[in-house]
Amino acid sequence: MRDFLTARVRWLGVNWFWPLALLALPGCGLPISGLGDCGGACVFNVDPGPEPRSGVVFCQIEKPGSRHCASPQEIDDLDSLTLAAGAEALVLKQGGRIALDYSPNDCDPPGPQVVEFEGRFPEGLPVCVNCSAAASSAITALDLCIAQCEDITAPGVVPADSATHADCVERTQFAINASFPFCVENACSDAGHFSEAFDDKRHLPDPVIWVHQVGVDGGGGDGTLTRVAGMTGSFDAGADSSQMVTAGDAYVEFTASGPAATRVAGFSEGSGDTNTDYALINFSISLFKEGCFYVYEKNVQALGDVQTCSAPDAFGAFNSGDKFRVSLKDNFDGTATVSYAQVTASCGTQIDCPPFFTSLTKANYPLRVDTSFREKEGQLGAVVLVRIQ
């Protein structure tokens, strides 16, 4: 690893001393187990929250010669843990040292390959970095992952011919969807170095951070939002999220908590604003005070088949404590397909809850969580945004 970084930095025209100083610091590298001597700084962190952090690189490194065509039993055992579904597996807190790769291959009969990793997939193998010791941000996170691969498969480690730089480039990538551990103490104390190259790009479930608050209190820290303004009979209270969904799949989940009240939540297109009217929430579920739920899109009601509520065309009834999701599925053309689901016990820990309605209108990125309230003390409990990229 040291030889590679020295050569890399010389190629970049940077003083050779800095990568050596970087790697000589306590806790700068972690062994394969992922929990080595990190100067007492390594901690488990399965929920890093919404903010990116610096100071650790997570690497997905395939074990040399581990790929093989999957047996039927391996497909049964691993079908939910695939390379293509790595981000979903992370959100569900699934992981393991082996996964299935369904990309084209030469397996006969046709089928996926089993891939074994150094460290767990999709969390990735951690390498701690002390950025304050480095003079340049030209060394990328991928460089460090490739160098870590070369250390793991150095000459003398069978198979020795796997230690080549080209081989490590082939079977190594920077894991942006890592969940733990995270090295925090003395990591990147100089914020000016590597702030971009080594940001942690993870997106686990984030409690919504509320901005543009009008007549509401979002200070609980868990995403809960409550109307505190007096009753006026109109939708004149609400807030939206500081977090944005700029691409990829996502969903917002919220609980119908608090007393009976009418409140609306979903996604709005574009940047935030202070308008509290539910009619301007582009894709939303409306929880009526009377106990039925409806869908409104750009001020047009989607027609459900329940006619027994106080207002026609509902999609069903709900109780206090019930959860709902509004989901986005990326169409890879700047738009997303929107669906709506009531979260049940059978799908509560899954990415995809069966929708009760899927929109024919496409949503345009970027999108933000948006809300509107009518009655005082109306509440949306534990509003969480999940981004899957």
Per-residue pLDDT tens digits for 143-187 = 778 888 888 865 555 555 545 788 888 889 887 665 444 444 344
**pLDDT score of 367 more than 90:** yes
Question: Which amino acid, residue 24?
Answer: A
Query: Which residues neighbour 383 within 8 Å (Cβ) at sequence distance 6 or greater?
Result: 207, 208, 223, 224, 225, 252, 253, 254, 255, 265, 369, 371
Maximum mean pLDDT: which of 12-16, 18-22, 271-275, 375-379: 375-379
Token readout for 109 is 């009969």
Token readout for 122 is 């999709």
Q: What is the DSSP letter of 229?
A: S
Over residues 313-334, mean pLDDT: 95
206-388 belongs to which CATH class? mainly beta
Q: How many other C-beta atoms are found inside a 10 Å radius of the C-beta of residue 266?
A: 27
Place of tokens 């409104």: 296
The answer to whether the CB of 216 falls within 8 A of the CB of 238 is yes
Question: Which amino acid, residue 205?
Answer: P
**pLDDT score of 83 more than 50:** yes
Over residues 21-36, mean pLDDT: 34
**pLDDT score of 296 more than 90:** yes
29 vs 370, more confident:
370
Spell out the domain ranges in the chain.
Answer: 2-183, 206-388
